[in-house]
A and B are shown apart, each in its own frame.
Chain A
């Protein structure tokens, strides 16, 4: 079974803090993704990575950066957290092609005060 784990289920941070969200997958997948999920907006792609050290911007990359130093780990970084970044963050991975199944982690509920 593919397993995608996220470092925290719940996180509370203050405005201006630097925030790291970590995601690890254990199935040697090449693609990894970060989405945010908001009520009434569905899932929106922030960034994705198709290989180590490679990244592509999604729909809403502003205010975020990512890091992929190892194949199994994909980190989302909020350089200076703001209240409008309060959201559910979902990590996903897929094997290789874009029609391979995306497997999602359980999500991190981030609250920025």
Chain B
């Protein structure tokens, strides 16, 4: 079964708006939560990551919010731009190198 549940499957946002993608997990052994961005024809690239000992991490227009008690985390893209149009994956790490990925969100930012 899917270890990390991601929603929505697709998202359309107006330029300048806020894009929000949500992920949820059940396994409390997960201890590291990265987000990846993938453009067509390319492999995913790390965007931002968080550990569960903090509730928020911000890098430029990208923010991860983390709710440990609810076992949920989300990516917020402020002032969304057409260049942000891509597929976004959340992921969670168990011990070692075992990463579990969400199913992906296709984001389209319209001018």
Contacts and interface: CB of A to CB of B under 8 A. Distances in A.
Interface of A: 4, 31, 33, 35, 40-45, 48, 50, 56, 58-59, 90, 92, 94, 98-99, 101-107
B97 A98 contact: yes
A31 B99 CA distance: 13
B101 A104 contact: no
A101 B63 CA distance: 18
B49 A104 contact: no
Interface of B: 2, 4, 6, 9, 32, 41-46, 49, 89, 91, 93, 95-104
B89 A31 contact: no
A50 B9 CA distance: 33
A107 B31 CA distance: 27
B38 to A, nearest CB: 8
Contacts, number: 58
Contacts of B95: 98
| A interface, over-half SS | strand
A40 B43 contact: no
9 contacts: A40-B103, A42-B103, A43-B101, A45-B98, A90-B44, A104-B42, A104-B43, A106-B42, A107-B42
Contact of B43 (A50, A56, A106): A106
A99 B104 contact: no
B96 A43 contact: no
Contacts of A98: 32, 93, 95-97, 99
